[in-house]
Amino acid sequence: MAKGGFREAKGDLRIEDVTKSFGDFTAVDDLTLVVPRGSFFALLGPSGCGKTTTLRMVAGLEQPTRGRILIGDTDLTGSRPYERPVNTVFQSYALFPHLTVRDNVAFGPKRRGEKDAQRLADEALNLVQLPHLASRKPTQLSGGQQQRVAVARALVNRPEVLLLDEPLGALDLKLRRQMQVELKRIQTEVGLTFIHVTHDQEEAMTMADTVAVMNLGRIEQMGPPAQMYDLPSTAFVANFVGQSNLGQGRITGRDGDFVVVDVNGSTVKIPSARCAVTSGEVLFGIRPEKVHLARSSDIDAAIRDRKVAFGDDMRATVLDVSFIGVATQYLVRVPSGATWSVYEQNLDVDPIDLKPGDPVWLEWDPAHAFGVAADGTPIPGITPAPGQDAP
């Protein structure tokens, strides 16, 4: 290949059968994925699952033990970081403190001997909406502004792929939300491929076209955020992307388009098309905001009347009530002894009428239920602390 050929590579990013081992530890395990050109892709997963290692291999800072990394038809495997049309923005911005904002951004083009480095820097600063701060030093900027300079410094190199490794980790929640919108705008404007690494599921869902959930060096599920939230394919994903109420059950039969499941003596249904198993053990799942709390014992009549909307029900006891503004979260004990979480939107100004110890009846539309394999896969925190992670 001619020198500089790697940097001209254009097209989809393709990771093919990539494994990365450190000694006898496998950090990334036979990873295969395609990130379409121009898309916003989020890699989501718990600490240590291999996200940074994956990015470092794409950037050329690590070489895969096995497998290939391509952009379009150009095989990048083995090439040096600076030969690749790839730039990375890390959590720590690492700006040069003695240089102005403009000179920080112009640094890359200048080093490559580009004549109009300053103009390119100004263009990049416009894109991140910081032209007015061009002559400041990094220490005279807020965290969010420094972060935007770091993005400008990467964009000025006109990479084909921009890698973002927890770039918003150091920002407070409000600024973080603002920067999420900002980064999404920039990505849409420049049309580059963005790969954004985060362990914040909300961040991944709000920003990305496609989210890949990684666990133990492998991708457990990948797809558009709404689709993944609606139908998680494993217990891990069910609890890593949003929360789920899960109940260990056994499939006892069929009823039309549903499988019938016994969960500790309660009979519930799962649409066959939403159930990963066809017989035997299953983990029944329902999202907290899909469950409705009925208050009174004349529930039987109420359920009968609304049989179409609320086909399944289960008796429970209130354990905890937390008001979180847009919603109230209830923790309830279900017959199996497990704790489920229920969100009710605060549509009325009525005071909360339930308290710990009160009996309630949980109702839901069985069309929203899902079933995943009860294969002993580790399930991250089924019950979050009250008030955390509201959907």
User: How near is the Cβ of 212 to ligand ATP at its closest, in Å?
Assistant: 12
**Cα distance between residue 107 and residue 156, in whole Å:** 9
Binding site partner of 49, from ligand ATP, Mg ion, none, Cβ cut-off 5-8 A by kind: ligand ATP
Selection from 356, 377, 194 nearest residue 276 by Cα: 377
- The CA–CA distances, whole Å, from 94 to 141, 147, 150 equal 13, 10, 8
Report how many residues bind ligand ATP under the rule CB under 6 A: 12
**Cα distance between residue 27 and residue 24, in whole Å:** 10
Task: Give, as ranges, the residues between 14 and 33 that touch ligand ATP (CB under 6 A).
Answer: 22, 25, 27
Binding site partner of 288, from Mg ion, ligand ATP, none, Cβ cut-off 5-8 A by kind: none
Task: Give, as ranges, the residues between 32 and 91 that touch Mg ion (CB under 5 A).
Answer: 52
The smaller minimum CB distance to Mg ion, of residues 160 and 165, is found at: 165
Asked whether 262 and 252 are in contact (CB, 8 A), the reply is yes
Q: Which residues contact 270 (CB under 8 A, 6 or more apart)?
A: 258, 259, 261, 282, 284, 366, 369, 370, 371
The smaller minimum CB distance to ligand ATP, of residues 47 and 345, is found at: 47
Binding site partner of 261, from Mg ion, ligand ATP, none, Cβ cut-off 5-8 A by kind: none
- Cα–chain center distance at 243: 13
Residue found by looking up tokens 């920039």 in the block: 186
User: How near is the Cβ of 51 to Mg ion at its closest, in Å?
Assistant: 5
- Burial of 136-149, coded b for 16+ CB within 10 Å and e otherwise, reads ebbeebeebbbbbb
Task: Give, as ranges, the residues between 160 and 219 that touch ligand ATP (CB under 6 A).
Answer: 199
User: How near is the Cβ of 27 to ligand ATP at its closest, in Å?
Assistant: 3
The smaller minimum CB distance to ligand ATP, of residues 169 and 386, is found at: 169
| Count of CB atoms situated within 10 Å of the CB of 169 | 16
Amino acid letter for position 287: R
The smaller minimum CB distance to Mg ion, of residues 55 and 155, is found at: 55
Amino acid letter for position 201: Q
Binding site partner of 263, from Mg ion, ligand ATP, none, Cβ cut-off 5-8 A by kind: none
User: How near is the Cβ of 307 to ligand ATP at its closest, in Å?
Assistant: 46
The smaller minimum CB distance to Mg ion, of residues 50 and 232, is found at: 50
The smaller minimum CB distance to ligand ATP, of residues 58 and 246, is found at: 58
User: How near is the Cβ of 10 to ligand ATP at its closest, in Å?
Assistant: 27
Binding site partner of 48, from Mg ion, ligand ATP, none, Cβ cut-off 5-8 A by kind: ligand ATP
User: HSE-up of 236 (CA within 13 Å, CB side)?
Assistant: 18
- Burial of 22-51, coded b for 16+ CB within 10 Å and e otherwise, reads eeeebbbeebebebebebbbbbbbeeebbb
Task: Give, as ranges, the residues between 39 and 58 that touch ligand ATP (CB under 6 A).
Answer: 45, 47-53
Which chain residues interact with Mg ion by CB under 5 A? Answer: 52
What is the contact surface with ligand ATP in residues (CB under 6 A)?
Answer: 22, 25, 27, 45, 47-53, 199
